[in-house]
Amino acid sequence: MKPMIEVEGFCKVYGDITAVNGMNLAVRQGEIFGLLGPNGAGKTSTLECLEGLRAPSEGFLRVAGLDPVRERKKLRHLIGVQLQSAGMPENMTPMEAMRFFCAYHGVPPRDDLLERFDLTAKQKTPFHDLSTGQQRRLGLALALAHKPQVLFLDEPTAGLDVGSRAELHGMLREFRDDGTTVLLATHDMAEAEALSDRVAILLNGCLAATGTPLEITAAGAGLTRVSVQTKAAVLQDDHHALPAVVRRMIKDNYVIYFSRDIGQTVPALIDHLQSRDDELIDLRVERPSLEDRFLEITQ
Amino acid sequence: MGVTTSAFARHFNFEFRAGLRNKNLLLMNYLFPLGFYLLMGFIMPGINPFFQDVMIPSMVTFAVLAATLLGLPYPLVTAREAGVFRSYKVNGVPTLPILVIPALTTAIHLGLTAIVIVATAPLLFDASMPVNWVNFGIVISALGLACTGFGVLIGVVSPSTRMTVLYSQMFFVPSMMLSGMMMPLGMLPDGIRKLAMLLPATHAMNAFNGLSMGTTADFTPWGGVIILALSGMMALVLALYLFRWDNWTRRRSWPGLLVLLPYVVGVLAL
């Protein structure tokens, strides 16, 4: 199947600054793809070129089979875009915005989306009187109003409360299941890990890693963290060497071991506790997260 | 109704209502010109009895200048700065309605203000009525076209809201002083009069006097009407050419000065 987003040899240069340098990327239909990177890595430039807001300096870009610059008029009905700052006229109400943008897309207004994003009670409130979260929810509702094939989201959950965030994640998964392709730029590693089918880490305008969150975290040198709390706290003063443990530390009544292989470390730890007549209160095993891997790559 | 027509109607409807809901636009479209009109109506006839002869064209010209030069550019600049145009671009809103619709809605607002002035000035202040209503309509239309064009062009070329105020005042203040609204153009020294002919308001006042108020024009009034209409169209074309979707896109703004070309020709030819 042909990818919904194709990027080959993409470069974006602003004067002397190279924002993106030779990027290659393919996003499949019905995939949520996370674009991660520190500030200035080139995420927004990539998104803006794919959305047709800017022209690439070099390279081949296709979204839904269309050139984002030359075929922008056709493309605008196939993509939904939520920009980092929502950017609405300050006196425009959510209801007006829905009617306004739907009219330009040639589709009937989607009041159901205002309801779904909990904006019905605020539908006659001017944009500048909405909270940040409400403004972002409105931006999302508008991006989805014409049922786009490809959805570009820039920091979609910034400013959202926990409930709205979970609701949005659920919705994005639904859209993905219906065949919508989602390209998501975010700083939120937990969000990218929870939501994305695949992610790419962008560093200094180049792709540093691409794959599923699991593949990316597994590829790192990250150590698994084993945190233990026991009744008699015998481990606190006990420097007994456990297999595959690289280092240990004590924090908040927990002894934390950093292990290369928890298959060796955890059974040995339990045996050791039994031999010292101590009782386990809590044992936590934390694999290296996408954030750990991200920090490893970017630092 | 096609997609474009429906979208245009929706956009027009929003912009028209924004002209009433936005406090700054409400001030510049209605409150400031009508307040100034009442103030002048009560003060000026006592100071200058001839003011009643030019009261209607002066106050209508003032209303046009306030709505177009002071009211129209600011929302365009703030919209660009706030990323509104970027939202428009990704949702397929073309450049033409972004610039033309505010100009049209401003024209309607200032038209309503002009009607209030024309209808009440003879009753409240014994102001002279136009003697040729057709020509009065033609001159006000040409002035409206020229000034909405100027307003849109200022909104497009202005790099920031601070500069917008400066650019707008560069035309507004001299228009108030030199165009013939407050004192006859003939009273100005020759050099200043030439300078005044670079302003749309001067051509409008001259054309109002010569074509609709039954008084004498200082120079060919129809020439002024043509200059106004031509510069208005040029300004809109230049605004479309120089339009930027966001503040990061750099574009030279000096070609905007080409809008003064018809006025320069006017200084030399009229």
Residue matched to tokens 């307003």: B151
Q: Judge: A89–B84 Cβ closer than 8 Å, yes or no.
A: yes
Distance from CA of B11 to the nearest CA of A (A): 6
* Rounded average pLDDT over B152-164: 93
Examine the domain organization and report whether A237 and A289 are in the same domain: yes
Q: Judge: B6–A86 Cβ closer than 8 Å, yes or no.
A: no
Examine the domain organization and report whether A189 and A289 are in the same domain: no
Q: Which of B85, B88, B91, B251 to mutate to test the interface with A (most CBs of A within 10 A)?
A: B91
| Domain final position from A218, A251, A274 | A218
Residue B2 confidence (pLDDT) above 70? no
Q: Judge: A52–B90 Cβ closer than 8 Å, yes or no.
A: yes
pLDDT tens digits, one per residue of A270-295: 999 999 898 889 999 887 777 777 77
Examine the domain organization and report whether A171 and A74 are in the same domain: yes
pLDDT band at B46 (very low <50, low <70, confident <90, very high): confident
Exposure on the CB side of residue B133, measured as CA atoms within 13 A: 4
pLDDT tens digits, one per residue of A162-205: 887 888 888 889 989 999 999 999 888 888 888 899 999 888 88
Distance from CA of A105 to the nearest CA of B (A): 7
Q: Which residues in chain A have their CB less than 8 angstroms from residue B90's CB?
A: 51-53, 76, 79, 81, 83
pLDDT of residue A86: 64
Domain limits for position B213: 3-269
A131 touches chain B (CB under 8 A): no
pLDDT tens digits, one per residue of A12-67: 999 889 999 999 999 999 999 999 988 888 898 999 999 998 999 999 999 999 99
pLDDT of residue B16: 92
A83 touches chain B (CB under 8 A): yes
A52 touches chain B (CB under 8 A): yes
* Rounded average pLDDT over B35-56: 91
pLDDT tens digits, one per residue of B168-196: 999 999 999 999 888 888 888 989 999 99
Examine the domain organization and report whether A66 and A160 are in the same domain: yes
| Domain final position from A218, A236, A262 | A218
Examine the domain organization and report whether A213 and A242 are in the same domain: no
Task: Calculate what percentage of chain A has a pLDDT beyond 90.
Answer: 46
pLDDT band at A125 (very low <50, low <70, confident <90, very high): very high
Q: Which residue of A lies nearest to B87 if distances are taken between CA atoms?
A: A87
Q: Judge: B92–A77 Cβ closer than 8 Å, yes or no.
A: yes
Examine the domain organization and report whether A243 and A110 are in the same domain: no
Count of structural domains within chain A: 2
Phi, psi of A72 (to 5 degrees): -60, -35
Examine the domain organization and report whether A107 and A166 are in the same domain: yes
CA geometry: angle at B179 spanning B175 and B184, to 5°? 145
Q: What is the DSSP letter of A155?
A: S
Examine the domain organization and report whether A38 and A106 are in the same domain: yes
Cβ–Cβ contacts within 10 Å for residue A184, how many?
26
Residue matched to tokens 């709390």: A229
The mean-pLDDT minimum among A32-41, A161-170, B88-97, B233-242 falls in A161-170
pLDDT of residue A221: 67
Examine the domain organization and report whether A128 and A274 are in the same domain: no
| Domain final position from A196, A218, A240 | A218
pLDDT of residue B20: 87
Task: Indicate the burial class of B45 (C-beta count within 10 angstroms; 0-12, 13-18, 19 or more).
Answer: middle
* Whole-number Cα distances in Å, B239 to B104, B232, B260: 15, 11, 14
pLDDT of residue B118: 96
pLDDT of residue B21: 87
Domain limits for position A270: 224-298
pLDDT tens digits, one per residue of B198-213: 999 999 999 999 999 9
- Whether the Cβ atoms of residue B160 and residue B79 lie closer than 8 Å to each other: no
Count of structural domains within chain B: 1
DSSP for A4-65 reads SEEEEEEEEEETTEEEEEEEEEEE-TT-EEEEE--TTSSHHHHHHHHHTSS--SEEEEEETT
Examine the domain organization and report whether A188 and A228 are in the same domain: no
Q: Judge: B87–A87 Cβ closer than 8 Å, yes or no.
A: yes
Residue A155 confidence (pLDDT) above 90? no
Residues 6+ apart with CB under 8 A from A113: A98, A141, A144, A145
Q: Judge: A51–B90 Cβ closer than 8 Å, yes or no.
A: yes
- The domain that holds A198 is classified in CATH as 3.40.50.300
A53 touches chain B (CB under 8 A): yes
Greater confidence, A297 or B110? Answer: B110
Count how many pairs of residues, chain A against chain B, have C-beta atoms within 8 Å.
72
DSSP for B74-142 reads HHHHHHHHTTHHHHHHHTT--HHHHHHHHHHHHHHHHHHHHHHHHHHHHHHH-PPPPS-HHHHHHHHHH
* Rounded average pLDDT over A77-106: 90
Greater confidence, B251 or B154? Answer: B154
Helix axis angle for B73-81 and B95-125, nearest 10°, is 150
pLDDT of residue B5: 78
ipTM, 2 dp: 0.84
